[in-house]
């Protein structure tokens, strides 16, 4: 889970004026990551037993957060090729 302080540091934001927006975008980014790594065959979200999986998911969520924040007035796709590559190994079944 991404803390607001971590998100603001990643986005290079020093003030508190957009905290509500940032909270909303954090929730959206984390939801996109969870949806992407979900095992669609049985509807059960994949759970990585290692902390490394959580770190990978947080890194992907930060990338998505940056995309959502920078392009909040457009219809840009938040799942960039970089994010897809990062998350592919966490999908069940893992895709190469």
In tens, the pLDDT along 38-73 reads 744 444 444 544 556 778 889 999 999 999 999 887
What is the average per-residue pLDDT within 74-91? Answer: 78
Task: With a cut of 70, say whether residue 95 has pLDDT above it.
Answer: no
12: confidence class by pLDDT, cuts 50, 70, 90: very high
- For residue 50, the model assigns a pLDDT of 56
State whether residue 45 is helix, strand or coil: strand
- In sequence order, the β-bridge partners of residue 38 are 45
Length of the chain: 96
More confident residue, 64 or 85: 64
- pTM recorded for the entire structure: 0.76
Answer yes or no: are the C-beta atoms of 37 and 87 closer than 8 Å.
yes
Helix, strand, coil in percent for the chain, rounding step 5: 55, 5, 40
Mean pLDDT of the chain: 81
């Amino acid at each position: 889970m991404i803390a607001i302080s971590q998100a603001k540091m990643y986005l290079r934001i020093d003030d508190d004026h957009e905290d509500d927006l940032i909270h909303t975008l954090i929730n959206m980014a984390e939801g996109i990551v969870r949806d992407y790594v979900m095992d669609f065959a049985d509807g059960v979200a994949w759970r990585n037993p290692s902390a490394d999986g959580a770190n990978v998911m947080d890194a992907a969520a930060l990338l998505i957060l940056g995309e959502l924040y920078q392009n909040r007035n457009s219809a840009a796709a938040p799942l960039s090729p970089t994010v897809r590559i990062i998350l592919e190994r966490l999908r069940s079944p893992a895709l190469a």
